[in-house]
Homo-oligomer: A and B are copies of this chain.
Amino acid sequence: MDNASTSDPGTGGRRRTGGRAGNARRRGGGSFQQPDWRMIENRDAPTAPLDEAGIEAIHAGAMQVLEEVGVEFLNDEALALFRQAGCHVDGTNVRMGRDWVTEMVAQAPQSFTITPRNPARRIEVGGRTLLFGNVSSPPNYWDMTTGGKVPGTRERCARLLKLSQMFNCIHFIGGYPVEPVDIHPSVRHLDVLFDMLTLTDKVVHAYALGAERVEDVAEMVRIAGGLSEAAFRQTPRMFTNINSTSPLKHDQPMIDGCLRLIRRGQAAMVTPFTLAGAMAPVTMAGAVTLSIAEALSAIALFQYVVPGCPCVIGTFTSNVDMKSGAPAFGTPEYMRATQMTGQMARFYGLPLRSSGVCTANVPDGQAMWETCNSLWAAVQSGTHMVYHAAGWLEGGLIASPEKFVMDCEVLGMIQRYMEPEVVATGEAEIALSAIREVGSSGHYFGIEHTQARYETAFHQPIVSDWRNHEAWAVAGGHWTSERAHLLVLRLLEEYAPPPLDPAIREELASFVERRKREGGAPTDF
């Protein structure tokens, strides 16, 4: 990992001053302290619920699905490409042999980088790296002020983008943190990408929702980076994420968007949404098998078109509530499906994406146990990119700033958990001389061994309240969501945008203006 920064504003716009390693130092705006932005190294061995036979069974099942059942591709170009590759195309149904699929998928890199406009925020996708992204795409918004579910707007979207920039535990920006329904869909991508590229300096994403949107976003990312077309294509600068239409279907714009981006050297993530008991088998192994088949069919196509192009396999396998048929997230079944998919991703040598998810409607206890379950499953599965890691509620239908900062506390704890110093066992950490010094009386507060380390010894809470009940009550007796609300208000006041060359900002604005004059993108999708 190369953290050498050309510009690393951190929270409050401070610059790096050198000194101790980023993982030990803490800084921040007035409201909280946090470690510098850096990628997390996942040091734990993945949790492996499947034995070798289990992995082989899911692989064999997925291959049989691809060979015998086939996948629908509602995209003429894809059908022609599959035909050209020798696959069996029957109408929109494509069947593909396991040898071809595994040969194609084997070309995908096990890791790659994505470099945003601020190169100090470059992310490495793969290996042992663990990356978190903000909540993406909810149509609705909830905060303690609205007190209810309200539609997303550009202003609410911008608020969540500012938080995404301020928290160093957020490594990349996924989709729109909330859908701004006050902007017409034809030009929505222009306004939100402008906000995204000016309010943040992290890796961004394009929705694969039609040629114009994808090409516009790619162009804006190129402009924001001050890049020539050649430089843009040279290495990934952005990514897209597509979902299949389970069971066993890929839609036109999703495949089109991926093909456009991989041909320009950018990254594609394929995330089937297989809900066990609804659009996938009720058994978790069956739902994972279906998901793997759907993802590999698209990734094989992309590797056929651009051998070696950066791809990520995603998982979004959960279960329904069998009483109502509604989706449930953060369940034990979700955790196991994520871990199982992690084993399959390593079997295929592909980087993995999973999510931070919950079913809860408000940022309460249920929200946090479901979110913790999904985030720890991400860690345990060896996930590289965690989508929706902060701010998600109601199965992805609501984005919430309070939930956002509450989740960032959990992400900060995961980051701290992975720091090698927490489990170091050198002579200084075994601390025999300190143990000798204190003996069986007195305490460790005042001794040199403690004093030399206490500032950075432990996770520094963001929104947790560690006071006793009496002190907490005197200070207002705020529950977590209320404290989170107050913190959000302070953070939004403290927010300062990351540096951006005024000429580039001007060029971005001109591009947006021109494309709006031209009518933006068609809205017949």
CA distance A453 to B484 in the complex (A): 41
How many A residues have CB within 8 A of the partner chain?
Answer: 127
Known: A364-B479, A409-B369, A440-B72. A431 touches B283 (CB 8 A): yes
A406-431 near B? 1/0 per residue, CB < 8 Å: 10011001101100001111101111
Residues in B whose Cβ lies below 8 Å from that of A326: 466-468
Which B residues are CB-close (under 8 A) to A376?
Answer: 372, 376
A248: contacting residue among B440, B477, B481, CB under 8 A: B440
Residues of B within 8 A of A47 (CB): 44-45
Q: Which listed residue, B319, B360, B373, B465, touches A366 by the CB 8 Å rule? A: B465
Q: Bound complex: CA of A47 vs CA of B43, how far in Å?
A: 10
Q: Are B69 and A449 in contact (CB under 8 A)?
A: no
A444 at the interface (CB under 8 A from B): yes
Alpha-carbon distance A455/B321, docked complex (angstroms):
10
Q: Which of A8-16, A78-86, A260-268, A330-338 contacts B (4 or more CB under 8 A)?
A: A330-338
Name the distance in Å between A274's Cβ and chain B's nearest Cβ: 10
Complex-state Cα separation, A413 to B358, whole angstroms = 14
Closest-CB distance, A36 to chain B (whole angstroms)? 17
Interface residue A23 (Cβ < 8 Å from any Cβ of B): no
Among B320, B440, B461, contact of A71 (Cβ-Cβ < 8 Å):
B440
**A50-58, A100-108, A304-312, A491-499 - the one binding chain B:** A50-58
Once the chains bind, are A69 and B322 in contact (CB under 8 Å)? no
Contact indicator B465/A360 (Cβ below 8 Å): yes
A324, B473: Cα distance in complex, Å: 17
Which residue numbers of A lie inside 8 Å of B, CB to CB? Answer: 43-45, 47-50, 53-54, 57-58, 60-61, 64-65, 68-72, 93, 140, 142, 148-149, 247-249, 276-286, 289-290, 319-322, 324-326, 328, 331-333, 335-336, 340, 359-373, 376, 394-395, 397-398, 406, 409-410, 413-414, 416-417, 422-426, 428-432, 434-436, 438-445, 449-450, 453-455, 457-459, 461, 463-470, 472-473, 477, 479-481, 484
22 contacts between A and B (CB under 8 A): A45-B48, A57-B425, A65-B435, A71-B440, A140-B469, A247-B442, A276-B444, A277-B444, A281-B434, A283-B431, A283-B449, A283-B453, A284-B422, A286-B431, A289-B432, A322-B455, A325-B445, A359-B466, A364-B479, A365-B367, A368-B368, A372-B373
List 6 additional contacts besides A277-B457, A290-B435, A363-B365; criterion CB under 8 Å: A65-B432, A68-B436, A277-B458, A320-B458, A366-B464, A367-B480
Per CB-CB distance, the 10 closest pairs between chain A and chain B, nearest first, are A286-B431, A332-B417, A281-B431, A365-B480, A248-B440, A49-B423, A372-B372, A61-B430, A285-B429, A54-B425
